[in-house]
Structure 1
Amino acid sequence: MQLTPIDDHFYLTKDEPNRSCLLALRDIILAQDPDITAEWKYNMPFFCYKGKMFCYLWIHTKRQWPFLGMVEGKHLHHPYLTFEDRARIKIMIFNPEEDLPVDTIRFILNAAIDLYRSGLIKLPKRKS
């Protein structure tokens, strides 16, 4: 994937192995569905599904490991997802020294997309 200057600042200023882990997560997310777009919101890399905030990447404060934050996590039930101190968002933390559980990540992303497809999470109205 081509990086933008904002991506350069966030991803490429991270030390290894976090940098490679975050870039791999970015590619997995963007490859999940053509309606997922990378955006910059709240000073962090966000991913939107058809214009609605979907998920984001960040570094866990205590562990200093990358994590995937699922915006509508309260509707997702998977043992790898945790609320920690959040009410709505669940996160999945990754040890950057280990292989990513790609199938699990794809499963969780697909379950989240289904929330939007089903209408449980309302999408913004398309401009005509």
Structure 2
Amino acid sequence: MLTPLENFYLQQEEPFGGCFMALRDLILKFDKDISPEWKYGMPFFYYKRKMFCYLWHHKKYQRPYIGIVESKHIEHPDLIIEKRARMKIMLIDPVEDLPVEAINSILKLALAKY
């Protein structure tokens, strides 16, 4: 039987499914202390047992995004805050190649907050 976390990735329609799986792999490879979790009904990633980032889909823009938990004080041109107090998000175009350099840059900035 599959876990809710495994089901999340398998139930996504393309191109979201492949995009979310590629993002998952990229985040997990970024640092050995990042681990996948299922929290608040979505895929979360923890860094040394602290919430680090998560994946979700933006209803308004119809795009997947990476939510960065401690990003309130991070400045990066690809991060947007919207109405969140603590987190910023990075929208991802699911039909384009992942912006790996930008994602790694943001993850590095976020990791420095821990």
CA distance in structure 1 between the partners assigned to 2:50 and 2:18 by the alignment: 26
Match of 2:81 in 1: 83
Max Rg structure: 1
CA-to-aligned-CA distance 1:3-52 (integer Å, 9 cap, x gap): x6223311111110010000000001000000000001111100000000
Q: What fraction of aligned residue pairs are identical, expressed as a percent?
A: 55
CA distance in structure 1 between the partners assigned to 2:11 and 2:61 by the alignment: 18
Match of 1:16 in 2: 14
Q: Secondary structure at the match of 2:95?
A: coil
Match of 2:26 in 1: 28
Compare the two structures and name the one with the higher strand fraction.
2
In the TM superposition, structure 1's runs of 4+ consecutive aligned residues that sit over 3 Å from their partners are none
CA distance in structure 1 between the partners assigned to 2:53 and 2:66 by the alignment: 7
Match of 1:68 in 2: 66
CA distance in structure 2 between the partners assigned to 1:39 and 1:9 by the alignment: 13
CA-to-aligned-CA distance 1:28-83 (integer Å, 9 cap, x gap): 10000000000011111000000000000001011221000000110211010000
Match of 2:99 in 1: 101
Instruction: Name structure 2 gaps, 5 residues minimum.
Output: none
Q: Which amino acid aligns with 2:80?
A: T
CA distance in structure 1 between the partners assigned to 2:3 and 2:18 by the alignment: 17
CA distance in structure 1 between the partners assigned to 2:11 and 2:109 by the alignment: 31
For the 8 Å contact 2:5–2:42, the answer to whether it is kept is no
Scaled by the length of structure 1, the TM-score of the pair is 0.85
Scaled by the length of structure 2, the TM-score of the pair is 0.95
Report how far residue 95 of structure 1 moved. 1.1
RMSD of equivalent CA atoms: 1.0
